[in-house]
Amino acid sequence: MTTISRRAFLASAAAASASTLFPTSLLAASKDLVVGTWGGTFGDLLKENVDKPILTPAGYNVLQEISGPVPRRTKLISERLQRKGSMDAALLADFDMHAAAKVGALYELDTSNVPNTANILPFLKKKNSVPLIYSAHAIVYRKDLIKTPPASIAELWNPKYKGKIGLSDFLYTTNMAYAAVGNGGKLTDMDAAKKGVEAWKELDVKLLPSTEAVGNALASGDIWMTIISAARGYSWNKKGTDLGWVVSEEGAFPAVYEAAVPKNARNPEAGFAYMNALLTPSAQKAFAERLGYLPTVSNGSISPELEKQIGFTEAEQNRLWIPDLDFIMENQSSMLDTWNRVLKG
């Protein structure tokens, strides 16, 4: 994994005017801007740090279309042949966005239509999307209930935690990657993944419907351990739950979330403006301070203290897995089928 050394530049975007944030080509009369995204805490964060301070003054009326990642990805791909789609901007995990890019559903993004792409960290640059936030899906656990940090993935199948492990239903791709590696396979070993999921079933793993549900279960003590972004562990810690997180000795799944503009957007100029707003230092700083996700731009300044809490050491970065996005795209349906059949059947 590429080692990232970010000596962030001082951010001045908070004082920037709408004309500074958006070149003339991106400014438009008041128009609806439909954004396909997650709801809950993240949706509120977008409203407070992107929509209201940046896009509303620039003349946009931002409407959030809230859904889970699977229906959003399906809609993005299935609508691509229609003259006009239902979203002007879409937010998804990198592997979901990869699938949409592969079928030609997304605009190319560069400095000509999204000026702030100039500041994207090199290892996160993509042709058809911009990186929104990044962290890693690590093992997050209750420090007051599990005294020894779970250094190995094997702890996720330790019988002493029967009934105390909870997993997010919509992170099935990440969870199955952990199941594959934790049961003797590589990331692409679906037999090992199935074996791991079946073992979770025997351990009475709790399947939780949302990220917020995972956080609530950790806070109540209903579960003691999960697989979720280290960023979430940080943000829930701030709310009073005594949590720790580890990049296990076997590694961890990168958590990269991206944004893109569908080629059939009703208002593509608004979509480009949204991409630009997501990459402003003020928005990136808010994502870091509120949610614990690392900035994706070189001018996304955060304090050294925060960097220490949410960043990764060189050794941890080198242990992060490099997922095969083509494999995930080609096998995601069968992964979901296995996941549902074993844990919900």
Position 28 scores a pLDDT of: 41
From the number of C-beta atoms within 10 Å of its C-beta (0-12, 13-18, 19+), residue 257 rates as buried
DSSP 8-state symbol, 29? S
Domain with CATH 3.40.190.10 in the chain: 13-134+255-315, 136-254+322-344
Kindly indicate the confidence band of residue 31, based on its pLDDT and cuts at 50, 70 and 90: confident
In order, the DSSP letters of 152-176 are SGGGGG-GGGTT-BEEEGGGHHHHH
Instruction: Give, in order, the Cα–Cα distances in Å from 282 to each of 10, 285, 297, 302, 330.
Output: 11, 5, 11, 10, 37
In the predicted structure, residue 45 carries a pLDDT above the cut 60: yes
The pLDDT tens digits for 265-307 are 999 999 999 999 999 999 999 999 999 999 999 999 899 999 9
Residue 289 forms beta bridges with which residues?
none
Position 19 scores a pLDDT of: 38
**What's the whole-number mean pLDDT along residues 38-54?**
94
Sorted by sequence, the CB contacts under 8 Å of residue 283 that are 6+ apart come out as 13, 49, 50, 54, 277
CATH number, domain 136-254+322-344: 3.40.190.10
In the predicted structure, residue 322 carries a pLDDT above the cut 50: yes
In the predicted structure, residue 13 carries a pLDDT above the cut 80: no
Fold for 13-134+255-315, please state it: D-Maltodextrin-Binding Protein; domain 2 (3.40.190)
Cβ atoms within 10 Å of 31's Cβ, excluding its own: 14
The pLDDT tens digits for 236-251 are 999 999 999 999 999 9
The residue type at 180: A
